[in-house]
Amino acid sequence: MKVLFVEDSPRLGEATCKALARSGLAVDWFRDAEDGWHAWRSSQYDAAILDIMLAPEAGLEPQDGLDLLLRVRAAGISTPVILLTALGSVDERVRGLETGADDYLVKPFAIEELVARLRALARRPLALAEDVVCLGNLGFDRASNELVVGDRRTSLSRGESIVIERFLRAPNRVITKTQLGDSIHSLEEDYTENSIHVHIHRVRAKLAELDADVAIRTLRGLGYMAITNSRASAKSG
């Protein structure tokens, strides 16, 4: 499970990241709203934790956690969000939920409760979002992690599932190697270009196996693009 965490307190941020990592979660921690926004746009997260009271970054327009949440929801990003705050009034909770938050936790909090709430939120969208993402004659079954063409199916690994969903949700748009790497791995982990090539190669092989009319095209120096037409397989090189 990959989590975005925006918290400006070094002490709380470091302690929370270590505790979440011990619980098996991959965490990308940012100390201001602007860095959190850029990461959110370029990576896919299962859930996000936002501190409401963020100190403004020098030289930038002040933004708190609610400002960031409004920006994210306006961009159509539906990642489940837990808000953290030292303010526990009913009015404050209502304001956060009306802004687009999914849950609320008042400081100080027990890390076990935070982990439980994160996992509950990460499960919720699977029941609410579309079960199958489609492009051309290809479908990606999110529940079973399978590619589907007609009555034929093939299973995907976790990394392959992340790659294909990223492409199917952005057809005919360039996706860079960095964006793919950030989607597959935590920003705190190293990844190589070779690992990205391996995931792309395996996804392409499975597309060919199913005779899908979707292909992943290489754009040298730029990245990759999902295309679909009757000659897509001829352009996938």
Number of Cβ within a 10 Å radius of residue 121? 19
For residue 148, what is the DSSP state? E
3-state secondary structure of 138: strand
Among 203, 226, 44, 42, which Cα is nearest to 134's?
A: 226
| pTM, two decimal places | 0.55
- Give pLDDT, residue 50: 94
pLDDT score recorded for residue 89: 63
First-last CA distance in the chain: 32
pLDDT value at residue 60:
47
- Strand partners for 85: 106
What is the Cα–Cα distance from 3 to 114, expressed in whole angstroms?
12
Quick one: pLDDT at residue 187? Answer: 44
Whether a cis peptide bond, with omega within 30° of 0, leads into 108 is yes
Domain residue limits, the chain: 2-128, 132-235
Residue-wise pLDDT for 147-169, tens only, equals: 999 989 999 987 888 889 888 87
Residues 36 and 65: beta-carbon distance below 8 Å = no
Check if the beta carbon of residue 97 is closer than 8 Å to that of residue 176.
no
Helix axes 158-168, 193-209, angle to 10 degrees: 80
Tokens matching residue 71: 């920006």
What CATH architecture does domain 2-128 belong to? Answer: 3-Layer(aba) Sandwich (3.40)
Instruction: Give how far Cα 237 sits from Cα of 52, 191, 207, 227, Å.
Output: 47, 23, 13, 12
Which of the residues in the chain have pLDDT under 50?
A: 58-60, 62, 125-129, 187-188, 230-237
Overall residue count recorded for the chain in this entry: 237
| pLDDT score, position 52 | 86
Extract the tokens encoding 21.
């990592």
Q: Which CATH number fits domain 132-235: 3.30.43.10, 3.10.129.10, 3.40.30.10, 1.10.10.10?
A: 1.10.10.10
